[in-house]
Amino acid sequence: MSEAGLLPFKDSDSLSLGVELELQLLSLSDQDLCAVSTDMLALLARAPFPGQVTPEITTSMIEVATGIHTRHDELLAQLQAMREALLAAGRRLNVGLAGGGTHPFQRWSEQRIFPKTRYREVSALYGYLAQQFTVFGQHVHVGCRSGDEALFLLHALSRYVPQFIALAASSPFVQGQDTLFHSARLNSVFAFPLSGRAPFVLEWARFEEDYFRKMTHTGVVKSMKDFYWDIRPKPEYGTIELRVCDTPLDVQTAAALAGYLQALCHALLQERELPAEDDYLVYTYNRFQACRFGLDGQVVHPRSYEPISLREDVLRTLRHLQPHAEALGAEAALDHVQQLVYVGNGAQWLREQRRRSGSVEGMVEAALQRFAGVI
């Protein structure tokens, strides 16, 4: 039975999955972002779309969302169908679509806010940060049976957040410059005052009464949408939402990251090691290491204080999760994640494309082809 109150949590199937991807809309003449989301949305509305598609904060981007899934292969199949529908619409508009956490040379001052009331309010409140928020992320929802289960998973996952940042990182360039970060996108997210980590509360009733009620009373927030946390509960969906991943360069990686998260949540729910607030002592440091150095980052285990490379940390986790992946039919997802560990993340791939092509425009062209499944 769902909890009632100020912020009721809708029960959902434990470990069910949904994925949202923010995508770049690109001019095929110069590979820059182009403000065509209104045209793209209007065209896609003319026929059934194999998922959901909605506007995002600026007019050079859209967001697509899958339905609810329990298996990695079914999730991947829907993402592939959505990609094909998007590419077909793009061909009609002479517009390209790509993943990646940032566009490598767009200028934030040229971006237009999408004409939606909430986005106008955000723009009025945050000023130029709203236009700078033309960055692109993958959000993964995991179903939870109760608000208490959601908060348990949210905090138990905190130790693994750097892994997801490093595996998904695909935003090394900003305004034509190599930032030396693997995920520069998250620096834009961290600029918002309600970003970072959620407060350490493990009971939904306490979260609802002692935190959310007080925050709404201050007038600082109106709903859960006002929080930009790395992981946040979505009570209206009955999920937690992992928000730290850059949009991957291909849908296979997007599906694999979701399957990896599902297997990890399966293990955490079975093993039930209670999270502690001290787990966050090294959280900000570890998150920075993942953003700056990707899989080469050195993190500190929050319990043992053991230093370990993120690459080795992911490999250890993969070995531990194998039986959980088998129970979920997610073995292919773990295989794909292991391949990322060995061949590198999207940021490394983009830098290599920049080196090969000799230009940021050539790098974007390669990203277009990769999203389309050509390379």
Q: What is the pLDDT of residue 2?
A: 41
Helix ranges restricted to H, 272-359: 283-293, 310-328, 331-343, 346-357
Query: What is the average pLDDT across 85-100?
Result: 98
Of 213-227, 239-253, 268-282, 356-370, the least confident = 213-227
Q: What is the pLDDT of residue 302?
A: 96
Give the pLDDT band (50/70/90) at residue 42: very high
Give the pLDDT band (50/70/90) at residue 6: confident
Residue 24 reports pLDDT greater than 80: yes
* pTM assigned to the model: 0.97
Residue of 368, 362, 361, 346 whose CA lies nearest to 98: 368
Q: What is the pLDDT of residue 4?
A: 54
Work out the number of other CB atoms within 10 angstroms of the CB of residue 126: 15
CB 346 within 8 A of CB 273: no
CB 19 within 8 A of CB 66: yes
Residue 366 reports pLDDT greater than 50: yes
CB 290 within 8 A of CB 347: no
Q: pLDDT digits over 118-177, tens only? A: 999 989 988 998 898 899 999 999 999 999 999 999 999 999 999 999 999 999 999 999
Residue 263 reports pLDDT greater than 90: yes
What's the rounded Cα separation, in Å, for the pair 245 and 262?
15
What's the rounded Cα separation, in Å, for the pair 128 and 151?
33
What's the rounded Cα separation, in Å, for the pair 328 and 345?
25
Residue 293 reports pLDDT greater than 50: yes
Q: pLDDT digits over 298-349, tens only? A: 999 999 999 999 999 999 999 999 999 999 999 999 999 999 999 999 999 9
Q: Decide: helix, strand or coil at residue 362.
A: helix
What's the rounded Cα separation, in Å, for the pair 288 and 293?
8
- DSSP states of 140-192: EEEE-SSHHHHHHHHHHGGGGHHHHHHHH--B-EETTEE-S-SB-HHHHHHTS
Residue 1 reports pLDDT greater than 80: no
Residue identified by tokens 């001290």 is 278
Q: What is the pLDDT of residue 113?
A: 94
Residue of 265, 336, 371 whose CA lies nearest to 17: 265
Residue of 349, 260, 223 whose CA lies nearest to 19: 260
CB 134 within 8 A of CB 33: yes
What's the rounded Cα separation, in Å, for the pair 173 and 10?
40
